[in-house]
A and B are shown apart, each in its own frame.
Chain A
Amino acid sequence: AKSKSVIPVEGFDWGRYICSNNLVGAPVSCFKHVPMGTCWGDLAEGVRVEVLNSDTSLSTKVYWIAGVVKLAGFKALLRYEGFDNDTSRDFWCNLCIPEVHPVGWCASSGRPLVPPKSIQHKYSNWKAFLVKRLTGAKTLPPDFASKVHENLQFPFKKLMRVEVVDKTHLCRTRVALVEQVIGGRLKLVYEESMDGSDDFWCHMYSPLIHFIGWSRSIGHRFKRSDVSKKIDGQMDAPPQLFAKVKDVDQSGEWYKDGMKLEAIDPLNLSAICVATVRKVLADGYLMIGIDGSEAADGSDWFCYHSTSPSIFPAGFCEINNIELTPPRGYTKLPFKWFDYLREMASIAAPVKLFNKEVPNHGFRQGMKLEAVDLMEPRLVCVATVTRVVHRLLRIHFDGWEDEYDQWVDCESPDLYPVGWCQLTGYLLQPPAQAVSKT
């Protein structure tokens, strides 16, 4: 699996990047798992806010009204009222920072609005100007700031214990402790590796983490820890904190060992591969092996839920014009499912068992976002949606070769709007430049 190395972030400016290339950022409402993702509403161009006035000679903080000219994720290109079509003082601002307020906030806190120095004398009657400009315009809801604050609280806390996939043996889970929480992303340190070197990053809604006891409850392999006593302060994360999966009925027609399908390769997320159901677990979970690259002991089988958007019926790639990776060593190319199933004396998993729901996600080709490099999941990178196939997105990491691209579901908790890193304090990896890659 290819992975990237950390690149210093200095100098990257989303605003300049978006403007100089005339790019579009995916709207916050595409990301239901992020702060404000479900209450972003129709915040759009034209909305007015009260923001710090940076064009003043006064020594105290003063504010002025600005309008949203362009939105990219959490970030807005703002223009102070009075500048009309003059773009020279436009500036980018994260709408969720504490210095952005609904119109009316200054009056309610006793602060006068002061026009920018460079247009101070443009209008003799600012009141008439503002009444004309603001009447009928939109502003933020009064509780916007408190909602942002509320949305930035996360239930996972340091020292909570979880079960997480063992990154060196995908077929099993291990116990890990939450060491850090940033923006809902968890830094997990595997138990028995308390020097902190053996860690794994994932979002709190990741399908890779579970409550303590989950593996045993569904029959998943689990690496037992020899830790006999919990350290003070440790507690098992309550089961209700984890992402829920849909209940499924396994009593009727169901997946069986040996059935073939197509699956995103967990070790190479750029590829959708020919795969096999290796073991049917309880509660709708399946152990999947990638054909042609399985370890003899099954140590690289991977657990996907039957409703996972990362598994597809045989033929999905062909129908959607996606390159299907044939089993390693399989020479009868181009790969044909019909021939392969006959040669393997196998059957394809029935189409009706797969998740065919396509949410109205709003992602479009070309949209910019911040995306986790799942091969190096501590890295959140500047990225682009390059293909949309129903609910499946092809994510390209800006500045990197296409071979690093990843197939990701539209509801993946590893995708974030422009400005998420700034909002949460997470380090953003800028687009790679030729020199830094070497």
Chain B
Amino acid sequence: ATEASGRKWEQKQVQIKTLEGEFSVTMWASDDKK
């Protein structure tokens, strides 16, 4: 996804670790190469 500013956001699998265990969620993180 590209926003008005031209910065690209990429979908990323993000790992979460809680006391109950580990799992992953899909989040957006901005493209650092801009």
Contacts and interface: CB of A to CB of B under 8 A. Distances in A.
Interface string B1-34: 0010101010010111111111101111111101
B7 A42 contact: yes
A110 B17 CA distance: 8
Given A39-B34, A141-B31, A141-B32, A136 B26 contact: yes
Contact of B32 (A111, A114, A142): A142
Contacts, number: 85
B3 to A, nearest CB: 5
Nearest to A108: B15
A39 B22 contact: no
Contact of B27 (A39, A108, A139): A139
Nearest to B25: A134
B10 to A, nearest CB: 9
Contact of A136 (B22, B28, B32): B28
A17 to B, nearest CB: 28
A42 B22 contact: no
A411 B19 CA distance: 48
B30 A42 contact: yes
Main secondary structure of the interface of B (DSSP, over half): strand
Contacts of B29: 102, 138-142
A114 B18 CA distance: 6
B28 to A, nearest CB: 5
Interface residues of A, number: 33
A4 interface: no
Contacts of A134: 14, 16, 25, 27
Contacts of A142: 29, 32
A143 B34 CA distance: 13
A144 B29 CA distance: 10
B32 A126 contact: no
Given A41-B5, A41-B7, A139-B14, A112 B19 contact: yes
Q: Which of A48, A103, A106 has the most CB of B within 10 A?
A: A103
A235 to B, nearest CB: 34
A39 B17 contact: no
A110 B3 CA distance: 33
A428 B30 CA distance: 31
Interface of B: 3, 5, 7, 9, 12, 14-23, 25-32, 34
Given A104-B27, A127-B23, 6 more contacts: A102-B14, A102-B29, A113-B18, A134-B14, A140-B30, A144-B32
20 contacts: A42-B7, A102-B14, A103-B27, A104-B27, A106-B16, A106-B17, A112-B18, A113-B17, A114-B18, A127-B23, A130-B16, A134-B16, A134-B25, A135-B25, A135-B26, A135-B27, A136-B26, A136-B28, A141-B31, A142-B32
